[in-house]
Structure 1
């Protein structure tokens, strides 16, 4: 018989090594065998005709180095002649036309399409120049042998005692005749399918009695675990089971901080098992970080490098997502567009954030440990217009002017004064400088708590946050100028202020008086519509340099200025000093250190005279 035209096109592509990832043929054939066992399992409990059929579901792999063959057999539903023609001779129902249309010429990308369009069986022609399929359908008397060298195929009657299917591959080379190679592929892709996979392999037998040396013997052994912990009932599992699974599958000897085990049924069917590590991954802040999630479809491993399964601000999460209603293989494009996976992602994010909130409420110390590890990463989720901002804000912890320990926004809100309608914060790159900033003076006097935000990302995300539970976020270095001075004080200070403005016109946007300071002579602030110094530094790192002149505010009640009015010969030097003092207090650099040192030396000499 001749193959359908599209099948011929497909086989030619595979035979001529379009695909580099040849090992996936075994995953596809084992998945087909698992499906056949599933079907017979279902019929044995749902159809009276099959209820007396006794069988122990299993898959067997046999290697024959002399004959250069690899066989995969199952005792599942099996096929008759009609099934063979429909399933192996044509691909009318499998979407091969779509498969061919989706080919891009990118070897790695195209190899991921196998299975997505139901062409998994044909991937075996990547490694075999001839394939034989011996099958007997359950309850039938006859068995049939399908064989093909990819030019066409034939079907004839044959003999087989038990129902099921044997796929015999006549291999092109010896790469897949190595039992260790086959076992590693099974472990990678098919370790957790629910049926046992057996293979004859060499095992070391320890010496017995008077024997001096052990020996290697061929023994049939199960080479897969045949269970998936994430699909087991939570009530049947202990903390040690999760910890052992985490260590074995994610190669981390440290116990996880938290595990989140979910089974979703109904319209959206999937199982997930997530872990929060107790140590930060080494590549946490690298653009090319390795995803910690593994995607399975019906227990069959698909990928461990899909960053689309969770948002980047949850990239520290390790775990498994096992979806029911997806094709066996999912390309990166499908990951981004598939509605089922989008829904799974949304549901998973909500579940993880919800469990983190529970941890924060029930075990503050453990949550604190988590936040110190991953708080900076979690903050990334506040950037932009994501739908989980409110949930993320509840998870945030901050250093403040009122406590040594990190505090939540709920704690801040619970302690505010009755008339307060804002959450005040200050951003910068150095926590110690923030604690001593002159801008805090009036807030300390009024006993108003201020958030101290020293993470680089804070400067980027805080302007994008409007409020938290009715309280508006307000940067204290961008608040309106508080000038509660009398008209007389302003008038008396006007000449000196005019001199400062002229002397510093190239370095600052404006010089003005303020009543926000008590101990410091000056401070730096910014127009609320322009980036402050911390934000400018961040933009510079991102290649978007934007230099904005600061506004210098002066404390007219400070002794420096009251004495300066009596001796104005030092005005140029004092103007430079108080500007640089304000800059230093905010962690900014000085444009001309030599000039600063010279002026400082002159002032000190004068003071000691």
Structure 2
């Protein structure tokens, strides 16, 4: 047996989770099932692509059982890839990537918001300490001889010892605390699985004691029974006509670990020469890491329902990193590598079509000015980023830009600006700076106000970079009023118009 102390940040994290998120403690089961599903995805991939694992008997499933009474426990077992001793140390004793640090930096004190962060930063396992005084993890990694037992009370550190286990996979046993006793219940577990994990692409079974009572209501006998309690069908493969709004919302929350409903979604299937399914969600709120270089991608790639990767930033352009969802193709090889993904003609076509679908959705949303303003408030900077980076879709993205204006309080598009220009105005004018109030009161605007000429207010630091890549719109020059002699442009426009009249 070896004893270990937690990495400093993990200790802080455990303290925050157990003391700040206690009202939303039920999310622990969602997180454990999500981790089990990932382990099953990895195992399925190995048995299909790696000769060393093809002979393994793989029965993908998750089983939950509980014991009530004085010392209640809840155990979740998966037949996934399992963990080695090194995996246990890296995954359960430290955080290999910067997830914990990011999580701690983004904790807000808002329980609903912070519970969402748990899943986003990959620290969901630790949420089980909200409901357990002690956690045991019994595991054996596929392809290895040794099995291991990881044990912790979530405070003093953890122990790793040798374990006896025949088959690969992982069993997590929670020794439930006073707050967690309610989860040693058939109906509580069943309802939570339906709520959070019904659409996990593997069967989830619940083992419980079925009790028979005599006519006086006394317990006569009991027998152990196991039922499948989830739907276990890849959600995106279902016909749209069979799905309701609530189904899409529930799957989004499972996929993204978000506690909010999605803002909107796209579900489409392509058939013919190229077969693939796209299910994309637009969240309501931008994730905290969205402007970091090490942002976590939100799109998972599957080949014929077999999970391939959720860490490939080439699946969509970087400006679309706010999108969550699934791409499932029938035409890609199972052992597709990162290099193949970047050069593959099929993937390139899927990516191109996916971008068009998303742009069309955003165009539709933009017809509702208030709804689009809500979207742009969260993701407008990424649209601007796309204008600068994505030459192939620059025109469509430019139409999606919105700016503040001297003519109204809300946001306006370049098309709206052009549509209300006087016939003698030949240019689109804008002012750049850091504070909206200062820009609105700038002396530079006086001459434009007098002539009733609208000026766009660009107060985002990225605006100057973006606007330089859009020199014209609808054959109208975009001109900055910040330039010396900029006001001369007004009279120049008028002169040009009078020359044409003459």
TM (normalized to structure 2)? 0.58
Find the aligned partners of 2:488 and 2:273 in 1 and give their Cα distance.
61
| Residue 458 (structure 1) shift | 0.4
Find the aligned partners of 2:366 and 2:288 in 1 and give their Cα distance.
25
Find the aligned partners of 2:230 and 2:340 in 1 and give their Cα distance.
29
Change (3 A) 1:218 1:235: closer
| Residue 208 (structure 1) shift | 4.7
Q: Look up the match of 2:370.
A: 365
Change (3 A) 1:216 1:345: farther
1:395 is aligned to 2:400? yes
Instruction: Give CA-to-partner distance per residue, 1:111-161, whole Å, 9 cap, x none.
Output: xxxxxxxxxxxxx972469xxxxxxxxxxxxxxxxxxxxxxxxxxxxxxxx
C-alpha root-mean-square deviation of aligned residues, in Å? Answer: 4.1
Q: 1:346 aligns with which of 347, 352, 372?
A: 352
Q: Look up the match of 2:44.
A: 27
TM (normalized to structure 1)? 0.48
Find the aligned partners of 2:263 and 2:454 in 1 and give their Cα distance.
31
Find the aligned partners of 1:403 and 1:222 in 2 and give their Cα distance.
57
Q: Residues 224-235 of structure 1: matches in 2 within 5 Å?
A: 225-235=231-241
1:263 is aligned to 2:269? yes
Find the aligned partners of 1:446 and 1:285 in 2 and give their Cα distance.
40
Change (3 A) 1:313 1:28: closer
SS at 2:297 equivalent = coil
| Residue 260 (structure 1) shift | 0.7
Q: Residues 505-544 of structure 1: matches in 2 within 5 Å?
A: none
| Residue 329 (structure 1) shift | 3.8
Structure showing greater Rg: 1
| Residue 415 (structure 1) shift | 0.4
Q: Look up the match of 2:334.
A: 328
Find the aligned partners of 2:60 and 2:450 in 1 and give their Cα distance.
78
Find the aligned partners of 1:398 and 1:257 in 2 and give their Cα distance.
21
SS at 1:262 equivalent = strand
| Residue 424 (structure 1) shift | 0.9
1:425 is aligned to 2:417? no
Q: Look up the match of 1:217.
A: 224
Instruction: Give CA-to-partner distance per residue, 1:259-305, whole Å, 9 cap, x none.
Output: 11111122321101111111221222222221111111111122222
SS at 2:331 equivalent = coil
Change (3 A) 1:267 1:466: farther
Change (3 A) 1:344 1:25: closer
Q: 1:126 aligns with which of 143, 152, 156?
A: 143
Q: Look up the match of 2:257.
A: 251
Find the aligned partners of 1:439 and 1:367 in 2 and give their Cα distance.
30
Consecutive unaligned residues of structure 2, counting only runs of 5 or more, are 1-37, 50-57, 64-77, 81-95, 97-140, 147-162, 174-198, 493-502
SS at 1:217 equivalent = strand
Find the aligned partners of 1:393 and 1:447 in 2 and give their Cα distance.
25
Q: Look up the match of 1:305.
A: 311
SS at 2:366 equivalent = helix
Find the aligned partners of 2:480 and 2:486 in 1 and give their Cα distance.
12
Change (3 A) 1:125 1:319: closer
**Aligned residue-pair number:** 335
1:383 is aligned to 2:388? yes
Find the aligned partners of 2:253 and 2:62 in 1 and give their Cα distance.
31
Higher relative contact order (CA 8 A, sep 6+): 2
Find the aligned partners of 2:221 and 2:283 in 1 and give their Cα distance.
42
Instruction: Give CA-to-partner distance per residue, 1:12-55, whole Å, 9 cap, x none.
Output: xxxxxxxxx997663137658xxxxxxxxxxxxxxxxxxxxxxx
Q: Look up the match of 1:176.
A: 168
